[in-house]
Amino acid sequence: MVYQDFKPCPLCGASGQIFYASCTDYMVSKESFYLLRCPDCGVVYTLDPPEEGEMKRYDKLNLKLKLGDSPNGITSRLYYHVRNFMLKRKVRIVEMQAYRTSGSLLNYGAKTGFFSHRMEKHGWKVTSVEKYHEERQFSMEMFRHRMIDVPEIEALHPGTFDVITMWHVFEHSYHPHELLDKFYELLRPGGVLIMACPNIYSTDAIHYGSYWAAYDVPRHRWHFYPGSLTMLAQKHGFTLMHHERMPFDSFYISVLSERNMRHKMAFLRGMLMGLYSWIVSLWNRGKSSSIVYVFRKR
């Protein structure tokens, strides 16, 4: 079904957007949002999400988990254990793909600073950017690591960083073109941009349809698959060098998706579906629930 009356694609300007799905914000507001797919660039996006100044209302429940409160429930405990494992994996990805074990790193959307702190412990000079005061304050109190607010990124000098990272942040961006241009400016020649995003062509996304928890409307404005994100990055001077799966996301997302569907034994069902998706991704990384992309500045 093609909607001729809708605005052009916000990323490429093409007309004739195609209805993709209707998704519900199960976490906070219980509001429903349409997703549209661009026939030209292939990106899927949330139609008419809240304005940037209104988004904190939708992020309120997520903040409790991010801020390091004692986890309640088996899913939250699983999240905390997996986070510790993934911090080590993220360090390995950065150092392998940047071909260095120290340097300057910009962590954009740093949340509460666990990754930034881990990179500092490994000898990296880290600048962290985070929009929420509560998370910046937590980082200062927990790690003595000062973060800057988003507007302060304009004061950073061009060619400053060897690596820029975004872990499940880019899909939230209100200005993706401007952000990629800024990253290109801030990276040194040959610098590396590493970002992780959910994959709408994953096994679990296809299985759960509109109940798939990683659509996470309206917090996620953009919904990528490998081809659409690579195409966008190329337009801003980046070349895809490597991509790999985030191995545990399928389990966590599948459990949440089962809860969205109000199934009995949601945890067990979600773990089984997550395992199936994980097995499929062993042979086809393009089917992974979330993918880490490594782009190099041309």
CATH number at residue 249: 3.40.50.150
pLDDT of residue 7: 77
Cα 107 to Cα 127: distance, rounded to the nearest angstrom: 6
How far apart are alpha carbons 292 and 96 in whole angstroms? 13
pTM score = 0.92
Report the number of distinct structural domains present in the chain.
1
Distance CA 137, CA 112 (A): 8
Does pLDDT of 3 surpass 80?
no
At 84 the three-state DSSP class reads helix
Asked if residue 292 lies in contact with residue 246, where contact means CB atoms within 8 angstroms, the answer is yes
Tens-digit pLDDT profile for residues 273-297: 999 999 999 999 999 999 999 999 9
Domain holding 274, by residue range, is 2-297
* Cα gap 106→162, rounded to integer Å: 8
The pLDDT-based confidence of 65 (bands split at 50, 70, 90) is very low
> Which stretches of the chain are DSSP H helices?
56-66, 74-98, 114-121, 133-143, 176-186, 203-208, 226-235, 249-260, 266-283
What pLDDT does residue 61 have? Answer: 47
Q: What is the pLDDT of residues 137-161, one digit of tens each?
A: 999 999 999 999 999 999 999 999 9
Q: Who contacts 185 (Cβ-Cβ below 8 Å, separation ≥6)? A: 158, 159
pLDDT tier, 206 (very low <50, low <70, confident <90, very high otherwise): very high
Task: Evaluate if residue 67 carries a pLDDT over 70.
Answer: no
Mean pLDDT of 97-114: 96
Tens of pLDDT, residues 184-199? 999 999 999 999 999 9
Q: In what order do the strands lie in the sheet with 290-297?
A: 147-148, 125-129, 104-108, 161-167, 187-198, 290-297, 238-245
The answer to whether residues 90 and 167 touch, using CB atoms and an 8 Å cutoff, is yes
pLDDT higher at 75 or 85: 85
